[in-house]
Amino acid sequence: MDSRYGWLIVAAGAVMTCAAMGAMFALPVYLQPIADETGWSRAGISTAMTICFIVMGVAGFGWGTLSDRLGARPVVFLGALLLGGGLLLASSARDLLIFQIAFGVIAGASLGAFFAPIMATTLGWFDRHRGLAVSLVSIGGGVAPMVVTPVASILIESFGWRSAMMFTAIAALIIIVPLSQVLRPAPQAVETEETAQARTDSLGNLWSVFRRPAFIVLAATFFLCCAAHSGPIFHTVSYAIICGATPLAAASIYSVEGLVGLFGRVIFGVLGDRFGIKQVIVAGLGLQAVGIYIYIYVSELMHFYLLGTVLGLAYGGVMPLYAVLAREYFSPRVMGSVLGAITMTSAIGMSFGPLGGGYLFDTFGTYDLLYITSAAIGLAAVGMALAFPPLKSKGSGETPALQSA
């Protein structure tokens, strides 16, 4: 069912994802300026991101289920309003608790309104080129650090962190609100083998869907994958500054990871089509674990760039593949709920990194334990990925979802 309008949704989804994720995940470059001005601890500021990940995950499940019922358009529109409101409130906060509520709870809740509804809508428009379509939408998340982070750093140096966050909130609203109107559900598919699966996969039968081995392994792998890289992503800018890099140069490491992640998404998508999604995920998770561990030996800016290239390729390439796997196992009727649920588990995994890294640094004065722990979690993700149930064979009349029902 590939259509021109489907590719329009891909383009709009990529831009909206970039604006939303960029606005939130620029917090690492705000970390030092916020701490300098307010005197708040790194752990306290990082807690806002931890809360953001938890709330994003829980809200993502609700937003995803709501999008299955109402469609993605109203869900993304409401998410944009929450995002702008939360960031505007955070930019004016004079108390750490208010900042954590505004950034972590209000703005964090908004992020769940983007991934699952947009991805579910995109997948519904494509019978072919699903991997490519999902990868291109996810490129928005990869572009976000490359574009928003350096812009935020420049704005912080020119106007201060409060004005920079306010400008970012306004820009996100201007971009996302009109583009959300592009989202439309795909035309009803003709009678296919998926029709039988759709009768089993229904909103009223979600508990049986979530008990399937395919969902359990998918959610657990996503959780461990994100728990492994969230701390290194969030704290590497501060680590590079400690090693002597300027704030702008340190922020550019984040941008390098995002840039390489763009290529990683496409490369891993093509490799997944050729060699199998499971094999590529396992290889990518292994590369991620090794790259994270090597950070304990890095101190020069060029080495940060080289390692950022490896890590960006690994986690950037793997992330879109989870949505492709979900579409292989489950029908479009529950896709928003399934993607929302696995996003919830991944967000909970992401929540450990910022707070854990801040606590370890505040306690021991070094980031070494963060990277060692994160690498170990990365290896656990590899082990979990090896337990993925087999995907359907080409020409098979059954889907894995039906085989495991």
pLDDT in tens, 200-248: 455 557 777 888 888 999 999 999 999 999 888 888 888 888 888 888 7
Cα 93 to Cα 90: distance, rounded to the nearest angstrom: 5
Residue 167, pLDDT score: 92
Domain boundaries, the chain: 4-184+201-403
CA 384 vs. chain centroid, Å, equals: 19
The answer to whether residue 274 scores a pLDDT higher than 80 is no
Around Cβ 390, how many Cβ atoms within 10 Å? Answer: 11
What is the Cα–Cα distance from 124 to 310, expressed in whole angstroms? 32
The sign of the CA dihedral 115, 117, 121, 127 is: positive
DSSP string, 86-134: HHHHHHT--SHHHHIIIIIIIIHHHHTTTHHHHHHHHHHT-SSSHHHHH
What are 56-109's pLDDT values in tens digits? 878 888 888 888 788 888 999 999 999 999 999 999 899 999 999 999 899 988
Q: Is the pLDDT assigned to residue 280 strictly greater than 70?
A: yes
How high is the pLDDT of residue 391?
60
Supply the pLDDT for residue 403.
37
Mean pLDDT of the chain, nearest integer: 82
Per-residue pLDDT of 192-211, as tens digits, reads 444 444 444 555 577 778 88
Say which CATH class 4-184+201-403 falls into: mainly alpha
pLDDT at 201: 53
Q: What is the mean pLDDT of residues 265-285?
A: 84
Query: Does the predicted model carry a pTM greater than 0.85?
Result: no
| Structure token digits, residue 4 | 């021109």
Confidence at 3, pLDDT banded by 50, 70, 90: low
Residues 111-128: tens digit of each pLDDT:
888 888 888 888 878 777
**Closest-CA residue to 16 (of 177, 168, 229):** 177
- Distances 131 to 2, 92, 246, 322 between C-alpha atoms, Å: 12, 41, 38, 10
Return d(Cα 86, Cα 81) in angstroms, integer.
9
- What's the confidence (pLDDT) of residue 189? 45
